[in-house]
Amino acid sequence: MAEQQLGVLKALDVAKTQLYHFTAIVIAGMGFFTDAYDLFCVSLVTKLLGRLYYFNPLSDKPGSLPPHVAAAVNGVALCGTLMGQLFFGWLGDKLGRKKVYGITLIMMIVCSVASGLSFGNKAKGVMTTLCFFRFWLGFGIGGDYPLSATIMSEYANKKTRGAFIAAVFAMQGIGILAGGFVALAVSSIFDKQFPSPTYAEDRVLSTPPQADYIWRIIVMFGALPAGLTYYWRMKMPETARYTALVAKNIKQATQDMSKVLQVELEMEERAEDIVKDPRLNYGLFSKEFLKRHGLPLLGCTSTWFLLDIAFYSQNLFQKDIFSAIGWIPKASTMNAIHEVFKIARAQTLIALCSTVPGYWFTVAFIDIMGRFAIQLMGFFMMTVFMFAIAFPYNHWIKPDNRIGFVVMYSLTFFFANFGPNATTFIVPAEIFPARLRSTCHGISAATGKAGAIVGAFGFLYAAQPQDKTKTDAGYPPGIGVKNSLIMLGVINFIGMLFTFLVPEPKGKSLEELSGETEAEK
């Protein structure tokens, strides 16, 4: 077998890091910024929605969303994302990355704005329209996963490809922080303009009618950064790997990349034959695909699935932690606006201390340590810290030990991001052939989102106390937080085992990884 790689792709692989790489990171990363912002900011305003639309003047506690409504508001976006990943992943291989990339962005902008313009002022109307638009927002966000990863990996050079894809993913962290900062700013402004008593002092006046604008402004703001990058997204040329290997137009690919790299590239003689080699045109459901990429695909899907169960279940004990540390006081001692401020402050602090640094550690070390080592280490550390929180759980929730609790909790999620949360996103964009790359990334990402749904909802029920009298309103008794944490530790351990199915792409060209350079002598 002679290894043959097209000259234009070789030029991309050995290109020095230059401005267009950073432009690509920002353009692809803005989708992720919006994605994290939108999925995250809703957790900052659910309490406010409960006070506004489910207020009961006879209750000692402020209104809160009934379990099925809370599940719908948080869950529809995840379901939409799952479907968007599959659909747009497939479409990105059919129509080209660039075309589909514009569609997903428009969807994200329109639905971000629309979810803040929900109809009517009755609970049912507002929640129904909010859920409807959040589903389609999720659908657009889903398309961004396979496309952003694929575009970045196809533009990058082989030496720093991991860091570039990780940098796109790290924009999620910045989106989370932005969500927190916007919520802090908006709630502070409203608090100055419309001071109101706490819930204990006056149940009706503790939620001023103007507070309805707060959540709408926070939710709609996510459209702004996405809108700003639309023009640049449309100006980016299609990736050379798609144009050459999928659309089979090597001349066009060479011209596009000459512009991008700002060098003269020549088209080789036998280029057409390499691309049209019939043995490299097997489909997703063929035996050949199964033989070459079956196990790696299983590795990518299973590790992402298991990781997201653990990653999205973190919301379970977030409330316990914040209340335990005293960052968020009892609901009845605050008015509606203060509550938004306190929740946003707590979430932003956790993000600043644990989540965001983890992302950038991955960017710094991924091309030194490699994907495999980071993923293995991340799963291992998450297992250790989950067990370390779970077994002495009753020790950690005592007021004296709460600082230790927060440190353990932060470390768990630091190693999720400096670990499998980043690598599961990066590897599927590197190891599959160009004509199936976006589809396979979409499949891996969608399996991950299925895990997220299990983590967010399965464990919401599982973590309820075993004693019927102590469960949250409307929930059946579960297995308790301690047992849930032990289960999560076991899940992380299984993720560590499945990591062994995933190949190491560090320092290799995409064509070498996917076997697309093989042609007869």
Check residues 387 and 471 and name the one with the higher pLDDT. Answer: 387
Residue 1 counted as domain residue: no
Query: 339 pLDDT exceeds 80?
Result: yes
Which of 60-74, 91-105, 293-307 has the largest mean confidence? Answer: 293-307
Residue 60 counted as domain residue: yes
Query: What six digits make up the tokens of 46?
Result: 């659910």
Query: What's the pLDDT at 365?
Result: 95
- Write out the H or E segment, with its range, that includes residue 257: helix 250-261
Query: What's the pLDDT at 16?
Result: 85
Look up the domain containing 274 and give its range.
7-514
Residue 365 counted as domain residue: yes
How many domains does the chain divide into? 1
Query: 191 pLDDT exceeds 80?
Result: yes
Residue 469 counted as domain residue: yes
Query: What's the pLDDT at 410?
Result: 86
Mean local confidence (pLDDT), 397-413:
83
Residue 449 counted as domain residue: yes
The dihedral through the CA atoms of 92, 98, 101, 103 has a sign that is negative
Query: What's the pLDDT at 438?
Result: 95
Check residues 188 and 266 and name the one with the higher pLDDT. Answer: 188
Mean local confidence (pLDDT), 83-97:
95
Query: 1 pLDDT exceeds 70?
Result: no
Query: What six digits make up the tokens of 380?
Result: 């291992």
Helix axes 67-95, 97-116, angle to 10 degrees: 160
* Residue 248 amino acid letter: K
Residue 386 counted as domain residue: yes
Residue 521 counted as domain residue: no
Distances (CA, A) of 233 to 146, 156, 368: 15, 17, 30
Mean local confidence (pLDDT), 393-418:
85
- What does the angle CA 24 – CA 85 – CA 382 come to, to the nearest 5 degrees? 85
Q: Is residue 281 left, alpha or beta, with left meaning phi > 0 and alpha meaning psi from -120 to 50?
A: alpha
Query: What's the pLDDT at 381?
Result: 97
Residue 520 counted as domain residue: no
| CATH number, domain containing residue 454 | 1.20.1250.20
pTM for this entry = 0.92
Query: What's the pLDDT at 317?
Result: 65
Query: 497 pLDDT exceeds 90?
Result: yes
pLDDT in tens, 354-384: 888 999 999 999 999 999 999 999 999 999 9
Query: 278 pLDDT exceeds 80?
Result: no
Q: Give the span between the Cα atoms of 353 and 339, in whole angstroms.
A: 21
